[in-house]
């Protein structure tokens, strides 16, 4: 049996400042080593000051993952000497002296399977090492401390995963939950990183570190399981070790270096007092929490009669559900859901495309209402959507510029309808005895108008002229 446990590091990307100082949490917008101060550099005499918002956001994550939340939290020093750590220790949390991390045990459902969460801790991210040089002999390492001290949440799971696919499904769900909470943006480069523990057939546990993306995490677990199975089948002992994920070669590599075998000498961070978590704060956070994905999905199904599969897609992606919430009305909800899941999804499936898109909830509402009122056909609405995404122009302008509007002028359409009635006398007779067959005649009018006849008006005129 395969057992996989995960440690997921997730940056709290929606905060203004770092975890213990007022440098910016968004380190990405700075030149190298511009976003630093004496506190995050650990200079003598500087004192940390805890970012309250970070504690709240980490607590919200703990609540969303059904974790227990302790009455008091504390911070510890994890001592290690490595160039990415300017202070020579990382300020983090630890549960060995009682539950003092922001989140205790919890769980989330992945399909029918319960994945147990061991704990959730709040800690600071280290700096970033940049490797340069053309050969192994000529290697130099540069360090950028802009990231040092930015808030990170570590989510630790029990070894409940049995396959790389379960890992992937869990990460997708986790990623949707974090985005929905508005605390993190997993699509940002480096915002999610992970370590994995893997053992097979009750053997020794191998830890894989340094996995830089969710995509690679699935690949890394897959590679490691195959490696261990191959050793196992040849009766070669699997040794307990730490391996690194080499994302260029897509393999795990044994890390024999001495600095990996560390004694972290954890001790309580004396510069930050214990923080009492008032039950009132927990209650308040609970009420401020955004509606869960599950509850959104149920609401879409029961209130608007949206099919379960569509509701699933709509609710799990915050970008789509926000668009839906801002643009739907009692009457157009199904049409809005339809436009998002059949037309829009393929056009804005990446972060870059979403950022470049000029499409807004107002556009979406106009589009749905115009389809429903017969102003534009569903077919033409797709072309209009393309144009709006590119230009951000309003729908009426796009319809007139691209001549996408339906023929809804009664006298013009009336003429086309009488022409069709003349040409299709047999079908007209049939429609008189069986009104269902009138759709054939609607189709003929559509053909003549290249799909631009207002379908509601067409049907009305056909019935009127035939006399049914």
Chain contacts with Zn ion (rule: CB under 5 A): 21, 23, 37, 39-40
| Cβ count within 10 A of residue 98 | 10
3-class state of residue 40 by DSSP: coil
CB 381 within 8 A of CB 339: yes
Residue 129 CB, shortest distance to Zn ion, in Å, is 19
Q: Which among 32, 36, 151 is positioned nearest to 90, based on CA atoms?
A: 151
- Nearest residue (CB) to Zn ion, 12 versus 413: 12
CA atoms within 13 A on the CB side of 144: 16
Residue 130 CB, shortest distance to Zn ion, in Å, is 20
Burial pattern 78-97, b for ≥16 Cβ within 10 A else e, equals bbbeeebbbbebbbbbbbee
- Nearest residue (CB) to Zn ion, 30 versus 319: 30
- Nearest residue (CB) to Zn ion, 39 versus 198: 39
- Nearest residue (CB) to Zn ion, 41 versus 301: 41
- Nearest residue (CB) to Zn ion, 39 versus 395: 39
CA–CA gap between residue 3 and residue 1 (Å, rounded): 7
Residue 128 CB, shortest distance to Zn ion, in Å, is 15
The DSSP output letter for 259 is G
| Cα dihedral 405→408→414→415 (10° resolution) | -30
CA–CA gap between residue 342 and residue 351 (Å, rounded): 19
CA–CA gap between residue 383 and residue 243 (Å, rounded): 51
- Nearest residue (CB) to Zn ion, 42 versus 374: 42
Residue 148 CB, shortest distance to Zn ion, in Å, is 8
Three-state secondary structure readout of 119-175: EEEEEECCCEEEEECCCCCCCEEEEECCCCCCEEEEEEECCCECCHHHHHHHHHHHH
Question: What is the C-alpha radius of gyration for the chain, rounded to an integer number of angstroms?
Answer: 29
- Nearest residue (CB) to Zn ion, 51 versus 95: 51
CB 77 within 8 A of CB 91: yes
- Nearest residue (CB) to Zn ion, 37 versus 281: 37
Residue 191 CB, shortest distance to Zn ion, in Å, is 19
Residue 54 CB, shortest distance to Zn ion, in Å, is 14
Sign of CA dihedral 368, 372, 373, 379: positive
C-alpha separations of 331 from 303, 304, 306, 314 in Å: 11, 9, 12, 18
- Nearest residue (CB) to Zn ion, 42 versus 451: 42
Q: Which among 269, 259, 290 is positioned nearest to 97, based on CA atoms?
A: 269
In sequence order, the 6+-apart residues with CB closer than 8 A to the CB of 305 are 334
Residue 339 CB, shortest distance to Zn ion, in Å, is 45
- Nearest residue (CB) to Zn ion, 87 versus 328: 87
Any idea how long the chain is?
468
- Nearest residue (CB) to Zn ion, 17 versus 92: 17
**Triad 40, 11, 287: Cα angle to 5°:** 110
The DSSP output letter for 80 is -
Count of H-run helices and E-run strands, the chain: 16, 15
The DSSP output letter for 101 is S
- Nearest residue (CB) to Zn ion, 2 versus 150: 150
Q: Which among 132, 158, 159, 151 is positioned nearest to 143, based on CA atoms?
A: 132
């Amino acid at each position: 049996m395969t057992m996989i446990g995960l440690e997921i590091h997730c940056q709290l990307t929606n905060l203004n400042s770092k975890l213990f100082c007022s440098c910016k949490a968004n380190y990405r917008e700075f030149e190298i080593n511009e976003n630093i101060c004496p506190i995050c550099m650990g200079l003598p005499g500087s004192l940390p000051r805890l970012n309250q918002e970070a504690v709240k956001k980490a607590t919200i994550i703990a609540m969303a993952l059904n974790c227990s939340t302790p009455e008091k939290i504390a911070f510890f020093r994890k001592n290690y000497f490595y160039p990415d750590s300017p202070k020579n220790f990382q300020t983090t949390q630890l549960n060995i002296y009682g539950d003092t991390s922001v989140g205790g045990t919890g769980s989330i459902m992945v399909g029918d399977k319960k994945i147990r969460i061991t704990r959730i801790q709040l800690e600071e991210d280290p700096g970033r090492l940049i490797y340069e040089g053309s050969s192994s002999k000529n290697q130099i390492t540069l360090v950028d401390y802009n990231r040092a001290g930015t808030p990170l949440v570590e989510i630790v799971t029990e070894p409940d995963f049995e396959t790389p696919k379960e890992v992937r499904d869990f990460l997708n769900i986790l990623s949707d939950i974090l985005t929905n909470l508005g605390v993190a943006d997993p699509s940002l480069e480096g915002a999610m990183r992970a370590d994995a523990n893997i053992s097979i057939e009750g053997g020794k546990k191998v830890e894989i570190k340094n996995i830089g993306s969710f995509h690679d995490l699935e690949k890394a677990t897959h590679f490691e399981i195959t490696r261990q199975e191959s050793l196992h089948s040849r009766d070669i002992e699997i040794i307990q070790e730490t391996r690194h994920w080499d994302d260029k070669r897509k393999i795990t590599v044994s890390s024999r270096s001495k600095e990996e075998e560390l004694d972290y000498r954890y001790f309580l961070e004396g510069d930050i007092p214990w923080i009492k978590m008032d039950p009132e704060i927990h209650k308040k956070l609970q009420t401020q929490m955004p509606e869960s994905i599950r509850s959104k999905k149920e609401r879409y199904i029961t209130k608007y009669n949206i099919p379960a599969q569509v509701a699933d897609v709509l609710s799990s992606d915050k970008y789509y559900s926000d668009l839906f919430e801002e643009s739907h009305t009692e009457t157009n909800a199904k049409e809005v859901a339809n436009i998002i899941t059949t037309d829009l999804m393929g056009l804005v499936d990446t972060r870059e495309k979403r950022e470049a898109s000029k499409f807004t909830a107002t556009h979406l509402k106009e589009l749905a209402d115009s389809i429903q009122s017969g102003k534009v056909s569903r077919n033409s609405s797709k072309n209009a959507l393309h144009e709006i995404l590119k230009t951000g122009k309003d729908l009426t302008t796009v319809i007139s510029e691209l001549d996408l509007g339906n023929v809804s002028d009664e006298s013009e359409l009336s003429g086309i309808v009488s022409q069709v009635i003349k040409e299709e006398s047999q079908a007209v007779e049939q429609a008189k005895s069986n009104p269902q067959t009138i759709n054939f005649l609607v189709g003929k009018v559509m053909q003549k108008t290249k799909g631009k006849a207002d379908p509601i008006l067409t049907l009305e005129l056909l019935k009127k002229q035939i006399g049914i």
